[in-house]
Amino acid sequence: MNKIKRKRRTFTDDFKHQMVSLYQHGKSRSEIVAEYDLTPSALDRWITQSSQSGSFKTKDNRSPQ
């Protein structure tokens, strides 16, 4: 029962902003995920990061300690 691993892809901040914008303008998560071959968790993470800090950089999304 071998699972085929998906190669880790990287996306530009501009692409992430475009995906978040599509969602904010009414396109459903499932439509975006299917159309752009994304994982639901990646899209959800981008939406959360965008709403919390406006940035996709890890250091900008850390909670203060």
Q: What is the 3-state secondary structure (H, E, C) of 8-47?
A: CCCCCHHHHHHHHHHHHCCCCHHHHHHHHCCCHHHHHHHH
pLDDT, position 45: 95
In a domain, 57, yes or no: no
In a domain, 6, yes or no: no
For the chain, the domain total comes to 1
In a domain, 42, yes or no: yes
Per-residue pLDDT of the chain (65 residues; tens, 9 = 90+): 677 776 888 999 999 999 999 999 999 999 999 999 999 999 999 999 998 877 776 555 555 55
In a domain, 64, yes or no: no
In a domain, 4, yes or no: no
In a domain, 60, yes or no: no
In a domain, 30, yes or no: yes
Average pLDDT of the chain to the nearest whole number: 86
Residue 33 is part of which domain span?
13-52
